[in-house]
A = this chain, B = another copy of it.
Amino acid sequence: MTTLYHLPLSPYCRKVRLVLGEKELPFELKVEQVWERREEFEALNHAGTVPVLVEDDGLVVADSNAICEYLDEAYPERRLVGQTHQERAEVRRLVAWFDQKFGLQVTASLYGEKQLKRLLGQGPADAAVLRAGYANLKLHMQYLGWLVETRKWLAGPNLSLADFAAAAHLSTLDFMNEVDWAKYEAVKEWYALIKSRPAFRPLLGDKVSGLLPPRHYQDLDF
């Protein structure tokens, strides 16, 4: 069976899990504590990061973007990167937006400072970094709001990888109770649609040692 090496709260791993689920591909999850720098794992991915996908035939795909592009090429029945050049360009622009811009400006600041630093014993969160993260989160929520108010899904009329990339980051922050949903009604409605998809269900049951998600995290009518 396909194996995905992951960490439960990594938004990049969550994005891949959503894609696998949406394509109804069976897979086995293995938690990889990347900070242990396990030799056998680093032989699979020299960067030492998750997610890494290993197929039955031995194919190894590292990096969340490489994995999602691969899955869309190998299992094209339910296209998630779009059909036309224009759709594909818009999906990829938004995936880069969330995985890189949002990832650096928000997720790394909040999840990185609060969770990863604690896990790695790197001391307390830096207040200035947190402040910047919260300020950036507001701006990104406004942009998300604009997207969902002008389009059915983030990249256009069809559900796509862009929705999963964005929802993955938000779900990590939501697990940490960092999203003030009441302030962003339109984004909340879009997120509720993603959250109610079967592919999302496993993420709602994730357990993370030392961190309890807020009650609304699992609730589909939050």
Contacts and interface: CB of A to CB of B under 8 A. Distances in A.
A215 interface: no
A143 B46 CA distance: 10
A212 interface: no
Contacts of A65: 65, 92, 96
Interface string A51-86: 000000001111101100110011000000000011
A70 B89 contact: yes
A88 interface: yes
Which of A59, A62, A73, A74 neighbours the largest number of chain B CB atoms within 10 Å of its CB? Answer: A62
Interface in A190-216: none
A37 interface: no
Interface of A is mostly: helix
A181 interface: no
Given A46-B143, A143-B46, A89 B66 contact: yes
Nearest to A64: B96
Number of copies: 2
Interface residues of A, number: 25
Given A46-B143, A47-B101, A69 B85 contact: no
Contact of A73 (B45, B74, B85, B143): B85
Given A46-B143, A47-B101, A143-B46, A69 B88 contact: yes
B101 A89 contact: no
17 contacts: A59-B85, A59-B86, A59-B89, A61-B89, A63-B96, A65-B65, A65-B92, A65-B96, A66-B88, A66-B92, A66-B93, A69-B88, A70-B85, A70-B89, A70-B92, A73-B85, A100-B100
Interface of A: 45-47, 59-63, 65-66, 69-70, 73-74, 85-86, 88-89, 92-93, 96-97, 100-101, 143
**Would you list the 5 A-B pairs with minimal beta carbon distance, nearest first?**
A66-B92, A63-B96, A61-B89, A62-B93, A63-B93
